[in-house]
Structure 1
């Protein structure tokens, strides 16, 4: 197994001088050296072959003992120095101080085909930033992260990637619902891959300590390796850097809204500086269309990170990043202008995104009313978002009275579509048909366009749960099937038609299939 290792993070940024792997507050350092914990009886469960090729390896490499050992923590590659990053963050709106990679260990950086990738193990043991935790992960959460990372990529959503999923052979104690009933589960490790795992919190930690020297060092490093077109170090380029991060964040969240994905934990330490979806914990896809839904049990009361609030939370987090970068920019009006642009641009981008979901190309002011009325109708009774928009492609503008028939499979309780609710839907389908007459393309052409942005298959929580329950018994057929299906989420794939279905009744309130905790 030969990787083209080209480390920059550990060579160009200040390291924690203390080498012991003990919990501590770290000062004036971007990372701490730490080796993964050796695992008892590792077993490789799955490898993402496309990602394998991206880092310059082959399927044959993945079958070697060295591959198994490196990506389960039992071997450190020569000329590498694994490390955990130091960062801080706001959690559910409250400043939490130092956080850091508590259960993630970065192995090295690899360059292949002029692209740089950081290889990281999640669940490979404690680090100086683990606080009171053990730094380990379980099969349950690892399957969810592994599947979702790759599913999001194929949906066209900016995301970190996954390379491998493995059992460790160790038992890990977890309290799934935080209700005082811990139990042992199978330990596992996911190998995550990304151009960078830098988060907003990496910059916040130095600003909070008024360590402006290390802050500048890290920002300069970030621009050099990830925003190289900015070239010279200057206040103007620091502002442009913030603008670009803001735009990338906007685009990422817009994709979340498009496919109905809810992150669940949009803390500042979970916000990628590259606008990538990062840290897959209690995430979920909308089943019934609901702006107020969150998959996170920890957020059940206040619903800070609910679906409809994700754009606002992106802005809130960008405000915190602006505060962290202020010592380098020292210009409040300029930073405020970037934040104002985010608000204005998001509104327009969201409108255009919804137009694409409806198969509309022309930009007409009345579209705002059409979309607003649709979103209100979708919440009149429980309506599956994915199925609704996918099947809306079958709507015929010459037959508006048959609109409900086209999307009937999206309604959880079809008998609810009567009286006032039916009237509102009939009114909307008539307005939609009228609007479609202003477009020049055929119904078939519209359907083809809509199918490019409205996925047929998404990773619903109940699907993950089925894969988890079987995998826990040593059966990985569902895991493999979902992985393959989710690589073509916009294709019809009739062989997987059974997965194009509403959440079953048994999954409505089942742990892991509806809401999840942060330990998920």
Structure 2
């Protein structure tokens, strides 16, 4: 019996490769960058790392896949999920897709540094296991297909943090060092340097993107376009029945609904994706491809974490819903050849904005602890978002502290409770102070209309307003420690962020505004796409 047999038997991994079995493969099996036609994927083998080392794994994700903690700490686990060895019966591959990047058509893109090991089934659920940073693929273009430690730590921590915040997301099973050095120019300023290589194993029901559909539509390959659309409906939107053009209209509606839900969650917790290209948009409405992401420190709708987006700020916090709609237009255009009728697609897209605004207002009501609907709520929310921009105000701290306000508090008492959220309290004077006094007056009056008790309202608010989020400076501290072979902070943040809505007194130090040193520091403020 080989090590492979032992490991598969121990971990009980049941391979169920639906995607690569039912959809067309690239007949060319040479691993060189090229244009791929009429194929949903290309077979490729991960690059063998020189000295793989497990840094961290998610016990929850391992259990979800049927892998025990003991198995996850074995050499076999390290070898497979670093790309050194293959699961028996598996045949790794990378997906082909296209996309719009920063609003411009980029043509074929594909998994340039991602390799799917296999689809596995556990408890009647199928999960796709994907290595990020495991080497070149036919879609790597001019890149090496590798990843570095800093970006891999960010993805590993953020995937799990988002899940526990209740945000739809891909998951992360493991974080490995490869033992190899990778050359990267962090800020694209002509100063490349070698960094530690790493691999993350990402997990999701599927990694299909809007760009999978754009590729075949752009190539006028309607056979493969129909095949991947039918596959998507069969396995991921099985509530869509029948076999007509109406199925593809229903597919767009379902994707629009899931996308809208995801964006509302992003706005709720203050998350900014940073690179909402169509090739980074999950067909399942999952947050995918964690690159230069970030959480709002101060409430700033114009903030983007992406240095590449610094000038135009296309992917800024306040624009994410509009970009989601723009991307859905591109998906609709891709599906149109299967439908041959624009009106039903246009109806879905035209309804998206009003549906989003309604869901956004309801989400903000929840953040404010308002269980009933009143006409003045829109204005109350609008004034609040304007006030939050008068001086730097920490979004996470503000909303969390807001739950401590009681109906019978005076305006001054209410203001005192949220003072901690201001970065420069000395700026809250004159018109700024008056604006806050006016808002708190309106808010306290509004609370009087609520029958729910102060205690119960705080419980509800604490369930939607996280106390802890993965601020960029926190990731950066974990990265700097890991570069010195100290992985304790990765584990601490992982544990902290499993319970982001709980008080967790022993972690109180992380309930704090961004420190001054992190304001302009690389990795703690804006990041490049190599991050």
TM-score by length of 2: 0.97
1:471 and 2:447 correspond:
no
* Residue number in structure 2 paired with 1:462: 473
1:111 and 2:86 correspond:
no
1:279 and 2:279 correspond:
no
SS at match of 1:343: helix
Mark the runs of 5 or more structure 1 residues left unpaired by the alignment.
none
2:64 to 54, 65, 71: 54
SS at match of 1:144: helix
Deviation at 1:331, TM superposition (A): 1.3
* Residue number in structure 2 paired with 1:353: 363
Deviation at 1:305, TM superposition (A): 0.2
* Residue number in structure 1 paired with 2:165: 155
2:344 to 326, 334, 348: 334
SS at match of 1:371: helix
SS at match of 2:239: helix
Deviations 1:474-514 (A, max 9, x none): 00111110000000000000000000000000000000000
Deviations 1:353-393 (A, max 9, x none): 00000000111111000000000000000000000000001
* Residue number in structure 2 paired with 1:247: 257
* Residue number in structure 1 paired with 2:499: 488
Once residues 490 and 331 of structure 2 are traced to their aligned partners in structure 1, the CA distance between those partners, rounded to angstroms, is 38
Once residues 404 and 512 of structure 2 are traced to their aligned partners in structure 1, the CA distance between those partners, rounded to angstroms, is 17
1:403 and 2:414 correspond:
yes
* Residue number in structure 1 paired with 2:138: 128
Deviation at 1:183, TM superposition (A): 0.3
Once residues 313 and 363 of structure 1 are traced to their aligned partners in structure 2, the CA distance between those partners, rounded to angstroms, is 28
Mark the runs of 5 or more structure 2 residues left unpaired by the alignment.
1-6
* Residue number in structure 2 paired with 1:444: 455
SS at match of 1:407: helix
Deviations 1:154-176 (A, max 9, x none): 00000000000000000000000
Deviating more after overlay: 502-511 vs 237-246:
237-246
* Residue number in structure 2 paired with 1:418: 429
Deviation at 1:397, TM superposition (A): 2.2
Residues 141-180 of structure 1: pairs in structure 2 closer than 5 A: 141-180=151-190
* Residue number in structure 1 paired with 2:87: 77
* Residue number in structure 2 paired with 1:14: 24
Once residues 429 and 445 of structure 1 are traced to their aligned partners in structure 2, the CA distance between those partners, rounded to angstroms, is 20
Once residues 418 and 206 of structure 1 are traced to their aligned partners in structure 2, the CA distance between those partners, rounded to angstroms, is 58
Once residues 91 and 158 of structure 1 are traced to their aligned partners in structure 2, the CA distance between those partners, rounded to angstroms, is 22
Once residues 341 and 237 of structure 1 are traced to their aligned partners in structure 2, the CA distance between those partners, rounded to angstroms, is 19
* Residue number in structure 2 paired with 1:95: 105
- Is contact 1:103-1:134 (8 Å) kept? yes
Deviation at 1:231, TM superposition (A): 3.0
1:507 and 2:498 correspond:
no
SS at match of 1:456: coil
Once residues 421 and 287 of structure 1 are traced to their aligned partners in structure 2, the CA distance between those partners, rounded to angstroms, is 19
Once residues 298 and 350 of structure 1 are traced to their aligned partners in structure 2, the CA distance between those partners, rounded to angstroms, is 28
Deviation at 1:395, TM superposition (A): 1.2
Deviations 1:270-297 (A, max 9, x none): 0000000000000000000011000000
* Residue number in structure 1 paired with 2:47: 37
Once residues 298 and 444 of structure 1 are traced to their aligned partners in structure 2, the CA distance between those partners, rounded to angstroms, is 45
TM-score by length of 1: 0.99
1:435 and 2:446 correspond:
yes
Once residues 219 and 445 of structure 2 are traced to their aligned partners in structure 1, the CA distance between those partners, rounded to angstroms, is 59
Once residues 64 and 234 of structure 1 are traced to their aligned partners in structure 2, the CA distance between those partners, rounded to angstroms, is 49
Once residues 266 and 140 of structure 2 are traced to their aligned partners in structure 1, the CA distance between those partners, rounded to angstroms, is 29
Deviations 1:2-27 (A, max 9, x none): 30111111110000000110100000
Once residues 288 and 99 of structure 1 are traced to their aligned partners in structure 2, the CA distance between those partners, rounded to angstroms, is 35
Once residues 236 and 243 of structure 2 are traced to their aligned partners in structure 1, the CA distance between those partners, rounded to angstroms, is 14
Deviations 1:423-474 (A, max 9, x none): 1101100100000011101111111110000000000000000000000000
Deviations 1:185-225 (A, max 9, x none): 00000000000000000000000011111100000011111
Deviation at 1:398, TM superposition (A): 1.3
1:325 to 325, 335, 347: 335
* Residue number in structure 2 paired with 1:312: 322
- Is contact 1:252-1:276 (8 Å) kept? yes
- Is contact 1:117-1:195 (8 Å) kept? yes
2:214 to 204, 207, 220: 204
Once residues 62 and 393 of structure 1 are traced to their aligned partners in structure 2, the CA distance between those partners, rounded to angstroms, is 40
Deviating more after overlay: 94-103 vs 72-81:
72-81
Once residues 260 and 65 of structure 1 are traced to their aligned partners in structure 2, the CA distance between those partners, rounded to angstroms, is 39
